[in-house]
């Protein structure tokens, strides 16, 4: 009997030592924000301020994998969205009014190739006109080639779940690149590959609404294969162009920092969501497979940062069941997950290991009443400024988003815009905290910090 007691005691000691080691190696930083001067900001000359959007979320009138899924699942329809496809010139004036120097947007494959091999030159010309307009305004265009949406015919072939479909994706990317790369230098091949695969193939909340870990891992590998193919081809076509991936880095922290189970779930999700992707980019091997061309296939890394998830034994099987938890002192955003600006620095440190420049391609908060956004922007910009001071090569910050838009499975309930949108009238109204870069009026609101002639929140 006593030997069982001895064995149990030994096991407890081993687990305690393991958890103690994890606690030391993976600290969950929290700052005393009340004692930080958020006005103590500095950014290098040439640092670019911008905003980001995505075609399916703003253009309107699209028929693709997402519009099909919205109908199949009875979700709120994206429908007219922000009618950006007709209002884009007015929207680009909003960019100029904000004084941004960079604008990240995606092109919509289903517009350009509604049927296999059938290319719509008229729609392509509109994107070309958009690029010309941005350049004429002195705004750097950054184009995302795949931001969650693609043609119905490609989805019906299996999309990224079948590697035999990757040549379709490659030829689409090459066609767009050949049309725009004389004026567009910066490209994101794929937006948030982990979100796309986890939401579409594990949680089933994005198209095609599947649920399977092995299937998810296959999609993750194919997304990296697709990126690598596109990177190698486009780099060969115009070597001076800069290509990257807009990588969502969500952090996973154990709900209880003494629970071995919570730690186990946190480390597994951290590996699946972040570690396996970075390993693929640095070694060319991901989730047990060799990914040809993936090693060193980034000229920059796009970082999309929002929050951390607190993990426990319960593995969420659907967003609706995903109960966003927070630390007692943390403030929840309207999306449900907490504002956790400290995690931004952890995410920056993580992608810095790739050894390439960082472009912040998304950061923002769902906040219809604009009550949390000023503090959210101040804290996150302070974190970026501190990271730059400590040597991180961060080139830009793109706030998500220019205006309220279609928030995927959440429809229009989440308001991320620097501009509020009345979807009945399509009126855009600059939110008080939306004066990310401004020259005058927001100063009257007591917001903002003067950065040598340019004022930011």
Is 369 tagged catalytic?
A: no
* Residues numbered 47-66 forming contacts with ligand GCO, rule: CB under 6 A: 54, 57
Establish if 416 lies at the interface with ligand GCO (CB under 6 A). yes
How far is Cα of residue 312 from the mean position of the Cα atoms in its chain?
24
Q: In this complex, which beta carbon is closest to ligand GCO, that of residue 309 or of residue 438?
A: 309
Query: What x/- string results for residues 103 through 142 when contact with ligand GCO is judged by CB under 6 A?
Result: ----------------------------------------
How far is Cα of residue 289 from the mean position of the Cα atoms in its chain?
25
Minimum CB separation of residue 88 from ligand GCO in Å reads 18
Q: In this complex, which beta carbon is closest to ligand GCO, that of residue 58 or of residue 228?
A: 58
Establish if 191 lies at the interface with ligand GCO (CB under 6 A). yes
To which H or E segment does residue 222 belong? helix 213-237
What token pair was written down for 81? 């969205």
Neighbours of 247 (CB within 10 A): 29
What token pair was written down for 51? 């905003």
Concatenate the DSSP letters of all residues of 406-425 into one string: --GGGTTS----SEEEETTT
Minimum CB separation of residue 441 from ligand GCO in Å reads 27
Neighbours of 232 (CB within 10 A): 16
What are the b/e assignments for 314-351, b being 16+ CB within 10 Å? eebeebeebeebbeeebeebbbbbbbbbbbbbbbbebb
CA distance 205 to 222: 20
Q: Is 416 left (phi over 0), alpha (psi -120 to 50) or beta?
A: alpha
Establish if 421 lies at the interface with ligand GCO (CB under 6 A). no
Query: What x/- string results for residues 142 through 181 when contact with ligand GCO is judged by CB under 6 A?
Result: ----------------------------------------
Q: E strands within 363-409?
A: 394-400
Establish if 78 lies at the interface with ligand GCO (CB under 6 A). no
CA distance 133 to 131: 5
Establish if 270 lies at the interface with ligand GCO (CB under 6 A). no
Phi, psi of 454 (to 5 degrees): -110, 135
Minimum CB separation of residue 36 from ligand GCO in Å reads 26
Establish if 197 lies at the interface with ligand GCO (CB under 6 A). no
Catalytic one among 108, 155, 179, 192? 192
Applying CB under 6 A, the span of 96-104, 152-160, 188-196, 231-239 interacting with ligand GCO comes to 188-196
Establish if 400 lies at the interface with ligand GCO (CB under 6 A). yes
Strands 449-451, 454-456: pairing is antiparallel
How big is the site for ligand GCO, counted in residues (CB under 6 A)? Answer: 11
Q: In this complex, which beta carbon is closest to ligand GCO, that of residue 398 or of residue 455?
A: 398
CA distance 365 to 347: 17
Applying CB under 6 A, the span of 61-69, 190-198, 266-274, 280-288 interacting with ligand GCO comes to 190-198
Phi, psi of 235 (to 5 degrees): -65, -35
Minimum CB separation of residue 221 from ligand GCO in Å reads 21
Residue with tokens 């870069």: 437
Minimum CB separation of residue 416 from ligand GCO in Å reads 5
- Report DSSP state, residue 320: G
Applying CB under 6 A, the span of 12-20, 94-102, 187-195, 222-230 interacting with ligand GCO comes to 187-195
Cβ atoms of residues 203 and 322 within 8 Å: yes
**Residues composing the chain:** 457
Minimum CB separation of residue 27 from ligand GCO in Å reads 26
Query: What x/- string results for residues 334 through 373 when contact with ligand GCO is judged by CB under 6 A?
Result: ----------------------------x-----------
Applying CB under 6 A, the span of 94-102, 191-199, 208-216, 421-429 interacting with ligand GCO comes to 191-199
Establish if 192 lies at the interface with ligand GCO (CB under 6 A). yes
Q: In this complex, which beta carbon is closest to ligand GCO, that of residue 380 or of residue 455?
A: 380
Cβ atoms of residues 303 and 233 within 8 Å: no
Q: In this complex, which beta carbon is closest to ligand GCO, that of residue 385 or of residue 401?
A: 401
Report CA dihedral (362, 366, 371, 376) to the nearest 10 degrees: -30
CA distance 65 to 62: 10
Q: Which residues are designated catalytic? A: 192
- Footprint on this chain of ligand GCO (rule: CB under 6 A): 54, 57, 191-192, 195, 248, 304, 362, 400, 407, 416
């Amino acid at each position: 009997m006593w030997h069982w007691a001895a064995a149990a005691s030994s096991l407890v000691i081993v687990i305690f030592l393991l958890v103690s080691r994890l606690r030391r190696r993976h600290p969950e930083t929290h700052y005393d924000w009340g004692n930080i001067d958020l006005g103590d900001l500095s950014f290098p000359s040439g640092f670019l301020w911008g905003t980001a959007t995505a075609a399916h979320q703003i253009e309107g009138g699209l028929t693709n994998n997402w519009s099909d899924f919205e109908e199949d699942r009875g979700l709120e329809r994206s429908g007219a969205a922000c009618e950006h496809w007709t209002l884009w010139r007015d929207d680009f004036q909003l960019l100029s009014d904000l004084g941004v120097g960079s604008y990240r947007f995606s092109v919509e494959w289903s517009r350009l190739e509604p049927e296999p091999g059938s290319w719509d030159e008229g729609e392509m010309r509109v994107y070309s006109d958009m690029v010309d307009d941005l350049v004429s305004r002195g705004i750097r265009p950054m184009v995302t080639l795949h931001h969650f949406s693609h043609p119905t015919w490609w989805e019906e072939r299996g999309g990224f779940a079948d590697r035999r479909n990757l040549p379709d994706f490659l030829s689409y990317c090459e066609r767009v690149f050949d049309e725009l790369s004389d004026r567009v230098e910066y490209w994101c091949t794929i937006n948030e590959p982990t979100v796309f695969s986890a939401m579409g193939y594990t949680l089933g909340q994005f198209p095609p609404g599947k649920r399977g870990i092995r299937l998810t891992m296959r999609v993750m590998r194919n997304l990296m294969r697709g990126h690598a193919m596109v990177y190698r081809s486009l780099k060969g076509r115009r070597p001076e162009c800069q290509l990257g991936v807009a990588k969502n880095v969500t952090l996973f922290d154990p709900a209880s920092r003494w629970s071995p189970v919570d730690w186990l779930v946190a480390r597994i999700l951290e590996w699946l969501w972040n570690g396996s992707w970075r390993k693929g980019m640095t070694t060319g091997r991901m989730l047990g497979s060799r990914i040809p061309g993936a090693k060193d296939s980034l000229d920059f890394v796009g970082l999309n940062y929002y929050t951390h998830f607190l993990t426990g034994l319960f593995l969420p099987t659907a967003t609706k069941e995903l109960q966003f938890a927070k630390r007692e002192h943390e403030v929840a955003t309207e999306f449900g997950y907490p504002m956790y600006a400290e995690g931004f620095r952890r995410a920056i440190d993580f992608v810095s290991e790739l050894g390439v420049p960082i472009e912040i391609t998304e950061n923002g908060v769902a906040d219809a009443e604009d009550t949390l956004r000023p503090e959210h922007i101040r804290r996150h910009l302070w974190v970026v400024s501190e990271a730059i001071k400590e040597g991180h090569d961060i080139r830009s910050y793109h706030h998500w988003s220019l205006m309220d838009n279609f928030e995927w499975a959440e429809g229009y309930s989440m308001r991320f815009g620097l501009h509020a949108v009345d979807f009945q009238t399509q009126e855009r109204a600059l939110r008080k905290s939306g004066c990310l870069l401004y020259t005058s009026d927001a100063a009257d609101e007591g917001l903002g910090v003067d950065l040598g002639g340019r004022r930011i929140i």
